[in-house]
Amino acid sequence: MNLIHFSVNSLLATAWIAAAAAPDDRAPPPPPPTASAAPTAPAAPAGALRAPPPTPGVLLRILALNDFHGHLEPTRLNVDAMNGPHLAGGAAALAQALTDGRAPVEHHVFVAAGDLIGASPLISSVADDEPTVELLGDLGLRWSSLGNHELDDGWAELLRLQNGCPDGACEFAGASFQWLAANVVRVDGEPFLPGSAVETFGGVRVGFVGAVTIDTPSITVAGATDGLLFLDEVEAVNAEVDRLLADGVRAIVLLIHEGGRRTHDRINACDGLTGRIAAINAGLHPEVDAVISGHTHALYECELGGRPVTSALSYGQMLTHLDLQLDPTTGDVVGHQVMSRVVSADNADPAIAARVEVYAAAVAAVANEPLGSTSTLDRIPDAGGTSSLGRVVAEAILAGAPGAQVAVHNAGGVRADLSGPITYSDAHRVLPFGNTIVTVELDGAELQALLEEQWTRTKGDSALQIAGATYAWDPTAPPGSRVRPGSVRIGGEPLDPAATYRVATNSYLADGGDGYRGFAAGRNRLDGAPLLDAFADYIRANTPLNPPPERVRRETPPPPEPAEPEAPASPPKPAGPQPAPSPEPASD
């Protein structure tokens, strides 16, 4: 332990294969340089490179990211250490950041906390995320926890990406890194993936344990996790730690796809942290020396109970530098130091950039198709809980589901904002999951119960994006009765509890995703067009896109007025005859 603080997929896939198979005379990226630890450097600004302090024993630098999601090209980043938005992340900038991070130290390792793939842009998803798996392996990734999005296409597809095609059925050789998942087993009790791995640095063995959020079955598409059991993260990790300790490993790092959130993304800070990661950390075996987390796309560098707990945003925009001081005699961690660095797109590895260009060229014809334009549509919730872009997506579902009267979409399924010209690639970034439109019949009472599930379900924390209906809700009312009585209107008319309504959504929600069970009561289910196609059609037909009006109102009833004070009781009249009252004066 630490003692001191220191729909076009077939066409596109053919194009990608052809482009990837073209002769490439570029030299592969050079192996990361190694050097002895540098002398003490003066304090560096947030996000800047720094040399490690001189330490006895073995210094190991862990370079970590999470939630890469196939973002091979840079995206816009806005954090407090930078003046406005900045392009960051992407494979080429990540390659250079890794090279720079490795340079001052002799011992280093590149690890991740899950969701390397899934919900990926076209450049990666069109080839089943093989480009991302190949490039991350070439950048030296060694170990990653499993993430829920690695299972978007089912666990058999993940095993293909891990091990390559069985019997040589394709040319993809599989990942050169290893996913880890101590808390996932097959229904027969056998492990699904290795729970941990051990690597030696300067004669000291270091164990890496992987785990994924126990919520995975409820936040992946129906059927993706059939045949797998997801165990309590803390119990499974602690059992794996006991096995490592029995094998003589004393330095142990947890890679976990579960995290926390903060109200802002200030670099190298921890204030305002909420979420499950703090409780998970509190229950961990005391011999876990560091926690590298993900899932929430947040930025934090925390010290919780003497243990570093980190997360590096998403999409490769930030890179965590975690330095561990290892005692070569005991094999334990005796000190640590942590910081985060912006992965600026201004500093990119040219060889990796050239490889990314090959992938981009393969999808350019479809990705660059113009669809329309907008000023700005974002995912920021209004007072009622919906966002401007979320409402547009709901409108697109309604337009793409003939006969539907209401459409809903989960806020978490809207993955990027829109601004300015909109291409097919931009639309795909917003809706990257490959869902279809599903329409079911619900009566009015069932529809209102579905709306109430926003507060009664146990998974997720975001509102349904809605079209075709309006309603108000009261945050002070108990869950299950927050929709204001009589407030729901469908097409401007009051909701009739006994009437039948056609309700459209995406296939993820229709199959119970995010914990919504109300669609299971639906009748006459109709599976329709791909959601992305309907979204693209809606943009073409309605450009320039404008935000639809807010349809959900958050209404807190005013407190009741204080009761009028009771008049004081009249004094009792004295006994006996009373004098007659004086006569009133005469009026003029």
**CA distances from residue 213 to 185, 309, 460, 560 in whole angstroms, order as listed:** 13, 16, 13, 44
Distance (Å, rounded) from C-alpha 154 to C-alpha 200?
33
How do residues 8-33 score in pLDDT, each as one tens digit?
A: 333 334 344 344 443 333 333 333 33
Distance (Å, rounded) from C-alpha 26 to C-alpha 19?
14
Residue 1, pLDDT above cutoff 70: no
Q: Are strands 141-145 and 469-473 parallel, antiparallel or unpaired?
A: unpaired
Residue type, 454: Q
User: Which position has the token pair 């978007």?
Assistant: 152
Which pair of tokens denotes residue 412?
Answer: 């978490």
Same domain, 342 and 375: no
Same domain, 311 and 379: no
Same domain, 402 and 328: no
In a domain, 560, yes or no: no
Does 191 sit behind a cis peptide bond, omega within 30 degrees of 0 on the bond before it? no
Single residue among 330, 355, 380 that ends a domain in this structure? 355
Q: Residues 176, 182, 183, 185: is their CA dihedral positive or negative?
A: positive
Report DSSP state, residue 545. B
The H or E element containing residue 369 is: none
| CA angle 212–213–215, rounded 5-degree value | 140
Is 287 strand, coil or helix? coil
In a domain, 116, yes or no: yes
pTM score > 0.75 for this model? Answer: yes
The whole domain housing 221 covers 4-23+59-355
| Confidence label for 222 from pLDDT (cuts 50, 70 and 90) | confident
Residue 184, pLDDT above cutoff 60: yes
Residue type, 126: V
pLDDT of residue 539: 98
Q: Are 432 and 119 in contact (CB under 8 A)?
A: yes
Single residue among 332, 355, 378 that ends a domain in this structure? 355
| CA angle 268–271–274, rounded 5-degree value | 115
Residue 470, pLDDT above cutoff 80: yes
| Confidence label for 471 from pLDDT (cuts 50, 70 and 90) | very high
In a domain, 569, yes or no: no
Mean pLDDT, range 192-215, rounded to an integer = 98
Sheet strands (E) in 463-506: 464-467, 469-473, 489-490, 493-494, 500-506
139 vs 263, higher pLDDT: 139
Contacts of 212 (CB under 8 A, 6+ apart): 114, 145, 146, 147, 148, 181, 183, 184, 230, 233, 256, 257, 258
Same domain, 379 and 291: no
Highest mean pLDDT among 267-276, 470-479, 513-522, 563-572: 470-479
Specify the CATH number for the domain of residue 67. 3.60.21.10
How do residues 224-237 score in pLDDT, each as one tens digit?
A: 999 999 999 999 99
How do residues 386-444 score in pLDDT, each as one tens digit?
A: 999 999 999 999 999 999 999 999 999 999 999 999 999 999 999 999 999 999 999 99
pLDDT of residue 23: 37
Same domain, 315 and 430: no
Residue type, 217: P
* Lowest mean pLDDT segment, chosen from 121-130, 160-169, 205-214, 522-531: 160-169
Distance (Å, rounded) from C-alpha 317 to C-alpha 78?
10
Report DSSP state, residue 30. P
Contacts of 573 (CB under 8 A, 6+ apart): none
In a domain, 50, yes or no: no
pLDDT of residue 569: 57
Q: Are 255 and 63 in contact (CB under 8 A)?
A: no
Same domain, 497 and 467: yes
Same domain, 126 and 76: yes
**CA distances from residue 275 to 269, 294, 531 in whole angstroms, order as listed:** 16, 11, 31
DSSP string, 216-277: GGGGS-TTTTTTEEE--HHHHHHHHHHHHHHTT--EEEEEEE--EE-SS--TT--TT-EEHH
User: Which position has the token pair 């993260």?
Assistant: 233
pLDDT of residue 305: 94
Which pair of tokens denotes residue 64?
Answer: 């970590």
User: Which position has the token pair 């900038």?
Assistant: 93
In a domain, 43, yes or no: no
Q: Residues 67, 71, 74, 78: is their CA dihedral positive or negative?
A: negative
* Lowest mean pLDDT segment, chosen from 11-20, 79-88, 183-192, 203-212: 11-20
**CA distances from residue 421 to 1, 317, 414, 554 in whole angstroms, order as listed:** 53, 24, 18, 33
In a domain, 477, yes or no: yes
Specify the CATH number for the domain of residue 439. 3.90.780.10
For the chain, helix, strand, coil in percent to 5 are: 25, 25, 45
Mean pLDDT, range 194-223, rounded to an integer = 96
Same domain, 286 and 407: no
In a domain, 78, yes or no: yes
Same domain, 192 and 236: yes
Domain count, the chain: 2
Same domain, 322 and 219: yes
Same domain, 106 and 173: yes
Residue type, 136: L
Same domain, 342 and 381: no
Distance (Å, rounded) from C-alpha 258 to C-alpha 549?
35
pLDDT of residue 522: 94
Residue 574, pLDDT above cutoff 60: no
Mean pLDDT, range 145-162, rounded to an integer = 96
Highest mean pLDDT among 8-22, 78-92, 357-371, 546-560: 357-371
In a domain, 442, yes or no: yes
Residue 351, pLDDT above cutoff 50: yes
